[in-house]
Amino acid sequence: MTLDPIFPFSWVLLLAVGAVGLTLLAHRLPGKRLGKFRNGTLTLFRLLAVLGIVTLLLRPSREESLTPPRSNGLCWSRSILPAA
């Protein structure tokens, strides 16, 4: 697997750290109104969303090797076929 980030890797890393920091900061805000379970679940989903966005910014890809088709030595292009 190769990575071809949209932005330089250091920018993506900085963005990821900032987003995780803001997510954890947001964890404290609704904590009193929501129960611990709901607050933890909400934080988990927010962190998964941040992880998904960072993954898309890194643009992972997979290289596949393609082998050319085997030829039997005959060329069947239209240029050499007789006109019908």
pLDDT score at 49: 94
Cβ-based neighbours of 34, under 8 Å, separated by 6 or more: 42
The DSSP element (H or E) to which 43 belongs, if any, is helix 36-58
Q: How far, in Å, CA of 39 to CA of 18, rounded?
A: 20
pLDDT score at 69: 65
For residue 29, what are its two tokens? 């805000």
pLDDT score at 25: 87
| Helix 9-28 × helix 36-58 angle, to 10° | 170
For residue 14, what are its two tokens? 């900085």
Q: What are phi and psi of 3, to 5 degrees?
A: -115, 135
Per-residue pLDDT of the chain (84 residues; tens, 9 = 90+): 888 888 898 999 999 999 999 988 887 776 667 788 888 898 899 999 999 999 998 888 877 777 766 666 665 565 665 665
pLDDT score at 33: 78
